[in-house]
Amino acid sequence: RAAAPRGSWSSDSSGSSGSWEPLYRVVLLGDPGVGKTSLVNLFAGVQERDLLEQHGEAAYKRTLSVDGEETTLLVMDAWEPEQRGEESRRRSQCLQVGNAYIIVYSITDRGSFESASELRIQLRHARQAEDIPIILVGNKTDLVRCREVSVEEGRACAVVFDCKFIETSAALQHNVAELFEGVVRQIRLRRGGKEA
Ligand code: GDP
């Protein structure tokens, strides 16, 4: 991984030597059009995009205060769709670098829900035996009349795949802060023992 462009896959090292703060990489997965970029933009905030964009890859760093404690997340929106079963370096990197994953589907697109299950399986293969936090996200809840995937189906899928579940609307900014706070809590739950 030494050859990776600085800032893209490596953590921030912009000269702030001294205080070392833990930084957790959170990778967004999901079909095109489900709302990954919209969710990450809300996370980053329109004003304060600490943005490293190269070739359509984007990573946004932000420190969140959750339950009275600060945690810095680097959220990566770099997933690309599979093209005719072809192996992709970026895809395998995405599956390797995350400390946590957000798998997004659109509640208006059953195909994207099926893709979410496939992504969960790919992730399990890529990171066997690792207990990585995964949040399944049903986005676009504002599009009530176009709903193709029920809340119950989403929840049941999360149970089967042993991940957390939340429905969001990036358009209405509903449950988006809760999503990222949930990621922080899931990371903290697993933190004890694994690192200092
Ligand atoms: P990505 O390809 O997964 O990154 O998806 P984008 O964030 O680019 O979103 C794809 C399209 O869906 C855009 O036109 C967004 O404005 C729209 N979109 C994203 N989230 C929502 C949502 O919660 N509700 C609605 N109605 N549209 C959304």
Q: Using one digit for the tens of pLDDT, what is the confidence trace for 28-77?
A: 999 999 999 999 999 988 544 444 454 455 888 999 999 999 999 999 99
Nearest 5°: the CA angle 64, 164, 172 is: 60
Q: Judge whether residue 155 has pLDDT over 50.
A: yes
From the CA of 40, give the closest atom in ligand 1: 7
Q: 33 C-alpha to center of ligand 1: Å?
A: 6
Q: Whose CA is nearest to atom 20 of ligand 1?
A: 35
From the CA of 174, give the closest atom in ligand 1: 23
Is the ipTM beyond the 0.90 threshold?
Answer: yes
Taking only Cα atoms into account, the Rg of the chain, rounded to an integer number of angstroms, comes to 16
Residue 82 token pair: 């599979």
pLDDT at site 66: 95
Residue 45 token pair: 């905030």
> In this predicted model, which residue has the larger pLDDT, 14 or 115?
115
Distance, in Å, from the CA atom of 70 to the CA atom of 181, rounded to the nearest integer, reads 11
**174 CB near ligand 1 (under 6 Å):** no
Q: What percent of the chain has pLDDT over 90?
A: 68
pLDDT at site 39: 96
What is this structure's pTM? Answer: 0.86
pLDDT at site 89: 83
Give the single-character DSSP code of 145: G
Q: What is the mean pLDDT of the chain?
A: 85
Distance, in Å, from the CA atom of 120 to the CA atom of 126, rounded to the nearest integer, reads 10
User: What element of type H or E holds 136?
Assistant: strand 134-139
- The bridge status of strand 100-106 relative to strand 134-139 is parallel
Q: Mean per-residue pLDDT for 106-122?
A: 97
User: Helices 151-160 and 110-126 meet at what angle, rounded to 10?
Assistant: 10
Q: Mean per-residue pLDDT for 173-184?
A: 98
CB 171, CB 140: distance < 8 Å: yes
**33 CB near ligand 1 (under 6 Å):** yes
Q: Judge whether residue 90 has pLDDT over 90.
A: no
**37 CB near ligand 1 (under 6 Å):** yes
pLDDT at site 78: 87
Q: Whose CA is nearest to atom 19 of ligand 1?
A: 35
Q: Judge whether residue 191 has pLDDT over 80.
A: yes
**34 CB near ligand 1 (under 6 Å):** yes
**38 CB near ligand 1 (under 6 Å):** yes
**171 CB near ligand 1 (under 6 Å):** yes
From the CA of 169, give the closest atom in ligand 1: 23
pLDDT at site 157: 98
